[in-house]
Amino acid sequence: MSNTTTLTIRLDSDIKDAARRRAERLGISLGTLVENDLRRFINGHPIIIDDDSFVPSERLLADLADAENEYNRGETTSVDAADLNAYLGNLAKASR
């Protein structure tokens, strides 16, 4: 038996209805659609967030402000793209 849980989210009913109709046309449930997107997110696939509906969290805003302050104080370093890709690849492997 699989280990399952229930996820409850709040969203506009029009969005839910439109997503459910589209999923049905594809022959899948809304739950399958959400689970697929969560699996892709976990596995490091890119996500696209609509700029019109994205509201950053207080933590994200604070982190961005900290990063900008570090940059303005000259406390950042540049990294070679190949080194960065290797580092990110190692992080991805470690998170699996």
Reported as a single tens digit per residue, the pLDDT across 35-64 is 999 999 999 998 887 777 778 889 999 999
- The rounded distance, in Å, linking the Cα atoms of 15 and 23 is 12
Domain range spanning residue 79? Answer: 56-96
Domain shared by 49 and 62, yes or no: no
Q: Provide mean pLDDT across the span 11-32.
A: 94
Domain shared by 64 and 74, yes or no: yes
Domain shared by 66 and 86, yes or no: yes
Domain shared by 44 and 71, yes or no: no
Calculate what percentage of the chain has a pLDDT beyond 70: 99
Domain shared by 48 and 60, yes or no: no
Q: Give the pLDDT band (50/70/90) at residue 19.
A: very high
- The rounded distance, in Å, linking the Cα atoms of 50 and 29 is 23
Give me the phi and psi of 46, to 5 degrees please. -65, 150
pTM above 0.85, yes or no: no
